[in-house]
Structure 1
Amino acid sequence: MADDLEKARLKALEDRIEGLKKTQAPEPRGDEHYSQAQLAWRMVIELVAGLAIGFGIGYGLDWAFGTQPIFLVLFILLGFAAGVNVMMRTAKEVQAEQAAHAARKKD
């Protein structure tokens, strides 16, 4: 009987300590989050990387097959589409992160 009462008291104390730890938890540092300029540069680099990879593949195929720049044009367009796709995925990721951060601040 005394053991059960003591276990219940210890459990209540642990719950109170955990609750206080949650309220005392520090906010995430500001420098851990990307600034808007960093996000913009990230998206520009993703787009340029897609174009450069498309250019390289297209140029290599045109050179290997001895064709006119048909593969170059085709793969530049595909690289552009891939770069835009990656940019949109990054934008969605950032938007979800900002929404989660705003929800945490609200609580």
Structure 2
Amino acid sequence: MPDNSEDGLEERRRRLGASLGRIRADDVKEAKAEASAEESRKGFANAMKLSSEFISAIIVGVGLGWTMDWYFGSTPWGLIFFLLLGFCAGVLNVLRATGAVPTRLSAPPEGKKDENNRGGV
């Protein structure tokens, strides 16, 4: 009789181990899917940020150009100039946001002086 209960316990332990293994595998798959979805959301958010920065720079350029043309009566030259200026500013904003262009030149180290004993290189 004790032999039968031991076999029953072993069988139940084996079934429990197998079901826990399946649950753990499902958890790993779910975690990978969630990480992939999170990465996709980050990419979409970054794309929206970059496109809005680009478009807003162009809109500001067009607005300034149109205002300058209306005020000075120089139609269409102010609009053309500021449209191109807004386009260049938008491209520069996108390049800065992606890290392709540094935002500012870094300051020289504290102890470094140039030939005129000023704080520059």
Normalising by the residue count of structure 2, what TM-score does the alignment of the two structures yield?
0.48
Structure 2: how far apart are the matches of 1:36 and 1:49?
20
Three-state SS of the structure 1 residue aligned to 2:74 is coil
Larger Rg: 2
Shift of 1:55: 0.4
Q: Which has the higher contact order (CA 8 A, sep 6+)?
A: 1
**Does residue 41 of the first structure (1) align with residue 48 of the second (2)?**
yes
- Unpaired runs of 5+ residues, structure 2, are 1-34, 101-121
Question: Identity over aligned residues, as a percent?
Answer: 32
- Unpaired runs of 5+ residues, structure 1, are 1-29, 94-107
Q: 1:59 aligns with which of 63, 66, 73?
A: 66
Shift of 1:43: 0.5
Residue 92 of structure 1 aligns with an amino acid whose one-letter code is G
Normalising by the residue count of structure 1, what TM-score does the alignment of the two structures yield?
0.54
Shift of 1:64: 0.2
Aligned length: 62
**Structure 1: which 4+ aligned runs deviate by more than 3 Å?**
none
Q: Compare the two structures and name the one with the higher helix fraction.
A: 1
Q: Deviations over 1:55-89 (max 9, x none)?
A: 01000000001122101011010001001101001
